[in-house]
Structures are given as C-alpha cells and as structure tokens.
Structure 1
Amino acid sequence: MIDAHIHLEQYDSEVSEQMLRELPSLGIEALIAVSMNLDSCIRTQKLATTYPRVVRSAYGFHPEQPLPQETELSNLLEWIEGQPREDFIAVGEIGLPYYSRAEALERGEAFDMEPYIQLLDQLLELAARLDKPVVLHAVYEDALIACDLLVKHNIQRAHFHWFKGPEEAIARMIKNGYYISFTPDILYETEIQELARRYPPELVMAETDGPWPFEGSFAGKITHPSMIRDVAAAWGALHDYNPGQAEEILTANTKRFYSL
C-alpha cells in the first residue's frame, strides 16, 4: 500500500528512519511526504533523496500557520519551480486555515481570510503551470472556495486529504472527480464513516497524516504508515470488500492519482 499523506519530516529522525526500514515487511510500498514551508520542503527533499521511490515528495505551504512574509513566499515559489520536475510528484500541502480561523473566532478575534485565499490562488497557479497534482487542506465550507479556485486554474487532479464537509461540497467534488483520503479515524468517527459510504470508491485513498495522533485502538501509539492497512480494512467493510480487495483498490487509486 501507499500512505497518501504523511508529514514524514515532522517525526524525530530516529523514529522516521526506523519506520522506513520497517515498511517493506509491513506491506507499505511508498509514502506521499507533504511539506509545511520551505525548510520543511528541504527536509522532505533530503528524505526522498535518501529513500528514493519510497519517499515521494510534495512541496507547499501549510495554511494552518501564520502567513509567510513576501520574501519567504517568493523564496518558496522560486525553490519549488527550480526543482527538477521528476523529483517531486505534487504541490502540497496547501489550502485554507479552517481550524486557525475557528480558534481565533472562538477567542473573539478577527480573522482575515482574504490573504490566505490569495496565497492558495498563487500556489494553485504554480501547480497548474508545473502540471502537478495538488494536495489540499480544505475542510467544511472552505472546500467550496478551494473548488472555485481549482476550476479557475483548470486543475483536475486535486486530493482533499482528511476531508469533511457539507453536502454541497461533497457533490461538487464528486462531480469534478476530486479525490479524498481517509485516516485511522474512519474506525471510530461516525461522520467519516458516513462520508466513506457516500464517496465513490474509485476516488478514495488511505492516509495517516502522521505524526498526528489518533484515538480508539490507536490511542497512545506513534502514528505509523502501516495504520493505512487498518484504514483499508475499515473502509472495505463499509463497501463489502474484504481487506485484500480494499487494499488493492485504494493502492490502485493512489498510483493512478499520483502517476506512480
């Protein structure tokens, strides 16, 4: 299988190195390693160079952090554009700051979304120019803004990771052929299970979003790429697939989306 979304460079180096050594024996072929900012991109690139064909790089700017300064953004865009096209497979993680905005509003603080929308617009323009798929952090009503921008830039290859959202967004995403991925919380979150039943099986992948921790049977455990096999089994049970069939479908979807 392939972990469709993991922040590999966010793990302690000893932990990540051990995980990478273990992958072949656990039936994990590759990881889609997303990035947070320029420093993160460089660390991800180093891992991909050390573990070729296992670590597949995606470069971007995560929206749940303060906006980059103009020079910082310019450096990031120039760096991504300067990389050999064959050395990375997507632009990501990019998107909109739903959780940061919700926390700010809960504290009674104003939150201006427009600069984040402009940032996403710039990053999508870059992806379109490079002809790369995009990895999106865009949940709930933010997904509708992301959909508008994807159409604006004529981007068909969009992966909404760990997605949750309103019916309007779900219907639009399905119509446009956008992919989503499920994390280990599919084992215990009713909302996610309902979405998994609703979304077309040919547009679904499995991810961990590691090192983000999970609950239920995963509580207290380091998030490991092998957990996507649990994701596959849980997703398959919702569609009457046995675990092997589910793994085959999700892996084929991931390879098709990322041209692996």
Structure 2
Amino acid sequence: MIDAHIHLDQYEEHMLAGLKDQGIEALIAVSMNLASSKRTRELAARYPGLVKPAYGFHPEQPLPAEDELDALLKWITDHADSMAAIGEIGLPYYSRAEAIARGGAWEMEPYLALLDRLLGLAAQLAMPVVLHAVYEDAWTVCDLLERHGLTQAHFHWFKGPAATVERMISRGYFISFTPDLLYEPEIQELARRYPPELVMAETDGPWPFEGPFAGRSTHPAMVHDVAAAWGALHGYSVPEAQALLTANTKRFYGLYG
C-alpha cells in the first residue's frame, strides 16, 4: 500500500528500512516549510521510488516573513519536476481555535493570503495540492480552489459538515483516512458516505493515535489497518480494500512508473 500523507522528515531514517517487507511500496511525504522541504527532498533522493515528496508550508505555525515565503516559492518552482504535489498547505483551524479559547485575537487574512499564493503557484505549475482544511475552513478552501481552477485536491484527515462534504464530492476532491477510523464514529460515518473512488489511506505520522494504537509509535504499515476498517464499512475484503485505496492514490498522484 501507499501511505498518502506522512511527515517523513520528522522520523529517524532507519524507519524506512524494511517497509517493502511490511507491504508499503511508497510514501507521500509532505513538508512543513522550506527547511522541511529540503529534508524531504534529500530523503526522496536517497530512496527513489519509495519517497514521493510534497513541498509546502503547514498553516498551523507562525506565518513566514515575506522573504522566507519568496524563497520557499522559488525553491518549490525550481524543484517542481521532482515533487508529487504542493503540500501540506491550508488554513490554521486548530491554532485559531486555541487562540480564541484563550481570549486572544486572531487575524485570518494573512493566512488566507498565504494560501492564495500557494494555490496560485500550484495552478501555475499544474500540481496537485495536499490540504489541511477542516470544519468551516474547508468551505473557504473550496472557494479558493475554484478561484484558481484547481481540481486535483487532497483533503487529508478531513472533518466537516454535510454541505461541505457534498460540495467536495461534487468537485471530485479526494480525502484520506487515518488510523482513527478504527475508533471514531464521526470518521466512520464520513467513510460510509464518501465515494470509494475518492478515498486514500494515510497515517499523518508521527502523529500518535488512540484506541488499539495507544502507546504505539505511528508507522506507515498502519495504513493496512485503515484499509481493513474502511473495507469492512463497504463490504470489501481486506485485499480488495487495500488494492482500491492504493489504486486511488496512484491515480491521484500519477504514480504509474
């Protein structure tokens, strides 16, 4: 299978050893910022075929200075021929919610402007985008995707209201499920609803999980558990679910060679 979303640069490199023997043929390795993108590219160069890099700026962190953003955009442009997507990008739902809960102020416009520039670059380069956009933020991101004419969108670990889900389905946007599919009823309901041909499996590692994964380090092989749980919701055998989710990931990211 393929782990459709992992922060590989946050792992010790020895984790990559033995992945083939554990049924993992590739990783979509997303990046947090310029330094993270460079580290991801180094790993992809050392493990060709296994590591498929995505370069971007994660929204759940302080905004970059203008010169930092310019450097990132130039670097992404210069290395576009070696990347699978632009990502991880999106809007800071969790940081904003925490700030507001503390009684602090939050200015959203700079984050919207940042995402707008990154989506503009994706349109210019004709690249897929990997999105961190949940709940009410996802509707806003759908607006921006349409403004830029982007159709190849992967909303990772998505949660959101019914109207947004229907809009995403109508546009053919992909989503991916994490190991929390095994123990979160809200996510299970989304998995029943979302069309099987628009679904992938991910770990978002090294993010830790609960339920049967409590106390365990997150590993790409957990996508097999995701596939089994997802398949059970739709009446697929485990091999059928693994094959379908893998084929979806290859189709979305153009992994045919």
Residues 1:140 and 2:135 are matched in the alignment: yes
**AA in 1 matched with 2:132:** H
- 1: CA distance between counterparts of 2:200 and 2:43? 23
Cα deviation 1:112-142 (Å, max 9, x = unaligned): 1111011000000000101100000000000
SS at match of 1:22: coil
Q: Which runs of 4+ in 1 moved over 3 A?
A: none
Q: Please state how far the C-alpha of 1:96 moved relative to its aligned partner.
A: 0.1
Q: How does 1:57-136 map to 2 (within 5 A)?
A: 57-83=53-79, 85-136=80-131
Q: Secondary structure at the match of 1:186?
A: helix
Q: Does 1:25 align with 2:21?
A: yes
Give the counterpart letter for 1:25 in structure 2.
Answer: D
Letter of the 2:74 partner, please give it.
Answer: E
2:191 corresponding residue in structure 1? 196
Other structure's SS at 2:52 match: strand
Q: Tell me how far 1:236 sits from its aligned partner.
A: 0.3
Secondary structure of 2:246 counterpart = helix
Asked if residue 52 in structure 1 is aligned to residue 48 in structure 2, the reply is: yes
SS at structure 1 position matched to 2:200: strand
What are the ranges of 5 or more consecutive residues in structure 2 without an aligned counterpart? none
Verify: 1:165 aligned to 2:160, yes or no.
Answer: yes
Specify the code of the residue in structure 2 equivalent to 1:198: R
Residue in 2 aligned with 1:3? 3
Shift of 1:20: 1.1
Partner of 1:239: 234
Alpha-carbon shift at residue 168 of structure 1 (Å) = 1.1
5+ residue gaps in structure 1?
A: none
The Cα shift of 1:86 comes to: 2.9
The alignment's C-alpha RMSD in Å is 0.6
Whichever residue aligns with residue 249 of structure 2, its letter is T
User: Is the partner of 1:217 in helix, strand or coil?
Assistant: helix
Distance in 2 (alpha carbons) for counterparts of 1:242 and 1:22: 25
Return the letter of the residue paired with 2:127.
K
Whether 1:250 aligns to 2:250 is no
How far apart, in 2, do the equivalents of 1:145 and 1:114 lie?
12
Q: Does 1:36 align with 2:32?
A: yes
The secondary structure found in structure 2 opposite 1:4 is strand
Q: Percent identity?
A: 69
Q: Which whole-Å deviations, capped at 9, do the CAs of 1:16-42 have from their partners, x for residues lacking one? A: 32x211111111000000000000000
1: CA distance, partners of 2:81 / 2:124 = 15
Q: Are 2:254 and 1:259 equivalent residues in the alignment?
A: yes
Q: Residues of 1 paired with 2:175 and 2:46: CA distance?
A: 28
Inter-partner Cα distance in structure 1 for 2:45 and 2:125: 21
Residues 1:175 and 2:170 aligned together:
yes
Q: What secondary structure sits across from 2:28 in the alignment?
A: strand
CA distance in 2, matches of 1:34, 1:24: 20
Pairs aligned (count): 255
One-letter amino acid of the counterpart of residue 40, structure 2: T
Question: How many angstroms apart in 2 are the aligned matches of 1:105 and 1:52?
Answer: 43
The match for 1:220 among 212, 215, 218 is 215
CA distance in 2, matches of 1:158, 1:211: 23
Find out whether 1:153 has 2:148 as its counterpart. Answer: yes
DSSP-derived class of the 1:32 partner: strand
